[in-house]
Amino acid sequence: LAKTTQPISMDSYEGQEVNITCSHNNIATNDYITWYQQFPSQGPRFIIQGYKTKVTNEVASLFIPADRKSSTLSLPRVSLSDTAVYYCLVGPTGGGNKLTFGTGTQLKVEL
């Protein structure tokens, strides 16, 4: 399984765009990149997933360069409620494949 490296913490203010980068140098050809959000005392929640280039949904964008050795989660105009831990996971396709969590990034949004 590809190991991921993220910043331990980030601080931002409401209304700003936040970009969290994840490094995954040994990503495999069939690996997807998935981001999850976790609030205290809750299970993680899926945010976005991608394989290459750019993916956008209603809550975030995911930028993946051509070499796929890193990815950047972009949260537009964050609010206080976006304060959470964000995890970048890399793993193969197929529902039976286990995924391991890295340290995650604690995002703190202030007024």
In the complex, which residues of this chain contact other proteins (CB under 8 A)? 32, 34, 36, 41-46, 49, 51, 87, 91-104
Q: How far is the CB of 43 from other proteins (least distance, A)?
A: 3
Q: How far is the CB of 104 from other proteins (least distance, A)?
A: 5
Minimal CA–CA distance to 63: which of 22, 100, 15, 13?
Answer: 22
Q: How far is the CB of 18 from other proteins (least distance, A)?
A: 20
Whole-number Å distance between alpha carbons of 77 and 99: 29
Q: How far is the CB of 41 from other proteins (least distance, A)?
A: 7
CB nearer other proteins, residue 7 or residue 102: 102
CA–CA distances in Å: residue 31 to residues 21, 75, 90:
17, 23, 6
Instruction: Please list the residues that pair with 93 across neighbouring strands.
Output: none
Contact between 102 and 21 (Cβ < 8 Å): no
CB nearer other proteins, residue 66 or residue 98: 98
CB nearer other proteins, residue 81 or residue 93: 93
CB nearer other proteins, residue 21 or residue 38: 38
Whole-number Å distance between alpha carbons of 50 and 8: 22
